[in-house]
């Protein structure tokens, strides 16, 4: 077991319980400290991992909830046993501060333990029983029992912006394992060492719980053909993905084009607009501005729930809000972004906004290399409504203020939105009448509607919905955070007139 603070990656894939090298390798590009070499994944590695997952499903898919809960808790234990080493290599690879990595590790282990408790309770199984009615006329009714059952091997793509909570042992992996589905993870090349040490923790938990080795595999890096081979493998039954709209949509289309189409649960990001009602802006505009600046720049703005747009009614209170936001953002220095490519994409997005018709610069900064600094722009409601590109995500600490002329135009802006992960309302009691008209519009646009808060805080809980209408996610009926996320990797099965001896344990008679 790795317990020291220093972790030196060996750079191999974990496939069916074995650490496997490849013919080719790539060098990691850490924010600081030494680079390491990692094997490049291939379609052959994918096939070996998926074949092992299918074999493991024959027993893991039939395992008890108690055994799976013990496994989830064991993974959490093994991650905590490597806590310092995970934090060190995570900060080296991503440039994220130690406190952020420590908090993300706690979220990762916390959701594993929450899912363990949740499946032990059994409510997620949605068990139903229609008793037989042999005397019913004109036809008797059979005895029918229904329960949710695991679907089979699941593919998970590691996310660039969350090396722990949305990657190797993150929410998608935890949900699939809780459901009874083996997992094959395609590691993200932005943090391969972090992925490797977490895979070591899962590998140790598999041995500790005497589970089939194919229940989890990690294929590192790889070119586009690795991801394509994974989602197109005939034994994969669902995909979990957090990433860009372009990459996610390409994989979604591949899943839909398969001989057997499968669900692609993609979380693709959004601009997460905030709607500032007049009473709230008049009473506490400066406070809202300060909170927005903090949320906008948290983690260099590299959150899928980053609130990139603020919609406010034009006038003196809007002027004061923009001035307070500018002052708060002006105090934020340069931050290291997760990868060079993400930093370049941020600069491209900033240039797109800056050069859009009807957009005025409020706060301009300079950033280069792998660093990001905040920018602030403003536009009118009319310009927003005539230029759809203003509603496209800029992944980083860039804010856009949309000054609307009145309540009608604010509602028009709301109606113009594409699907969002979140929409936020800042309101006081006097704004209630306007919000009663606005809220039903936003409910159709987002998976989570907040009041007087900021969306860059996603609780792992029973009620959380982290998803939304397309393009925020590819399945509006699902969430990638919270206990409801387990439901993605289950399907209902009805057993008619079946004796207890052949039923799954979860639905046998007491």
Q: Which two three-digit tokens encode residue 294?
A: 């903090």
Strands 420-426, 264-267: pairing is unpaired
User: Left if phi > 0, otherwise alpha if psi is -120 to 50, otherwise beta: which for 344?
Assistant: alpha
For residue 364, the tally of other CB atoms under 10 A from its CB is 12
- Using CA atoms, how far apart are residues 22 and 40, in angstroms rounded to an integer? 6
Q: φ and ψ at 268, to 5 degrees?
A: -115, 0
At residue 447, the 3 state secondary structure works out as: strand
| Greatest Cα-to-Cα distance within the chain, rounded to the nearest angstrom | 80
Query: What is residue 466's three-state secondary structure?
Result: coil
104 part of the active site: no
At 32, list the tokens. 């600081």
CA distance 450 to 426: 8
494 is a catalytic site residue: no
Residues in the chain: 510
The torsion angle over the Cα atoms of residues 414, 415, 420 and 423, rounded to 10 degrees, is: 30
Kindly give, in sequence order, each residue whose CB lies less than 8 Å from that of residue 117, ignoring residues fewer than 6 positions away. Answer: 69
- Contact between 274 and 307 under an 8 Å Cβ cutoff? The reply is yes
**296: part of which helix (H) or strand (E)?**
helix 278-297
Count Cα neighbours of 167 within 13 Å in the Cβ-side half-sphere.
Answer: 28
CA distance 459 to 111: 10
Q: CA–CA separation, 180 vs 125, rounded Å?
A: 12
3-state percent breakdown (helix, strand, coil) of the chain, nearest 5 = 45, 20, 35
CA pseudo-torsion sign 51, 37, 248, 179: positive
Active-site pick, 267, 367, 378, 423: 267
Among the listed residues 181, 304, 367, 423, the single catalytic one is 304
The residues annotated as belonging to the active site are 267, 304
């Amino acid at each position: 077991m790795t317990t020291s603070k220093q972790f030196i990656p060996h750079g191999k894939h974990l496939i069916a319980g074995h650490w496997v090298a490849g013919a080719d390798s790539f060098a990691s590009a850490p924010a600081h400290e030494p680079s390491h070499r990692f094997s490049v994944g291939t379609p052959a590695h994918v096939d070996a991992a998926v074949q092992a997952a299918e074999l493991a499903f024959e027993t893991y898919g039939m395992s008890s909830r108690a055994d799976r809960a013990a496994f989830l808790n064991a993974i959490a234990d093994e991650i905590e046993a490597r806590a310092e080493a995970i934090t060190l290599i995570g900060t080296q690879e991503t440039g994220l501060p130690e406190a952020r990595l420590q908090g993300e590790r706690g979220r990762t282990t916390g959701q594993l333990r929450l899912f363990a408790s949740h499946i032990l309770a059994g409510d997620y199984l949605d068990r139903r029983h229609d008793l037989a009615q042999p005397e019913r006329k004109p036809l008797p009714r059979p005895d029918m029992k229904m329960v949710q059952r695991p679907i089979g091997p699941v593919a998970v793509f590691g996310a660039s912006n969350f090396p722990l909570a949305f990657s190797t042992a993150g929410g998608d992996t935890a949900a699939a394992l809780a459901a009874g589905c083996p997992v094959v993870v395609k590691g993200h090349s932005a943090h391969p060492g972090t992925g490797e040490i977490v895979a070591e923790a899962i590998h140790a938990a598999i041995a500790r719980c005497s589970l089939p080795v194919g229940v989890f595999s990690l294929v590192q890096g790889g070119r586009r053909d690795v991801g394509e081979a994974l989602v197109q493998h005939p034994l994969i039954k669902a995909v979990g993905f957090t990433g860009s709209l372009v990459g996610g949509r390409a994989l979604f289309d591949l899943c839909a084009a398969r001989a057997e189409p499968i669900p692609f649960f993609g979380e693709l990001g959004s601009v997460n607009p905030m709607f500032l009602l007049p009473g709230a802006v008049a009473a506490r505009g400066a406070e809202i501005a300060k909170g927005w600046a903090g949320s906008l720049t948290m983690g260099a703005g590299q959150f899928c729930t980053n609130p990139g747009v603020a919609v406010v009614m034009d006038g003196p209170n809007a002027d004061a809000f923009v001035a307070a936001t500018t002052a708060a953002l002006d105090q934020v220095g340069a931050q290291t972004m997760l990868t060079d490519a993400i930093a370049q994409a941020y600069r491209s997005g900033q240039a797109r906004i800056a050069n859009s018709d009807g957009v005025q610069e409020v706060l301009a900064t300079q950033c280069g290399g792998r660093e990001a600094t905040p920018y602030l722009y403003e536009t009118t409601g009319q310009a927003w409504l005539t230029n759809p590109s203003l509603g496209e995500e800029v992944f980083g600490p860039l804010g856009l203020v949309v000054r609307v002329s009145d309540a009608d135009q604010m509602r028009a802006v709301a109606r113009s939105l594409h699907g969002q992960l979140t929409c936020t309302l800042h309101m006081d009691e006097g704004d209630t009448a306007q919000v009663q008209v606005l809220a039903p519009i936003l409910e159709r646009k987002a998976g989570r509607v907040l009041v007087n808060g900021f969306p860059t805080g996603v609780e792992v809980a029973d009620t959380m919905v982290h998803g939304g209408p397309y393009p925020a996610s590819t399945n509006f009926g699902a969430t990638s955070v919270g206990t409801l996320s387990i439901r993605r990797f289950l399907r209902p099965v009805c057993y008619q007139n079946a004796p207890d001896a052949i039923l799954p344990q979860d639905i046998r008679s007491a």
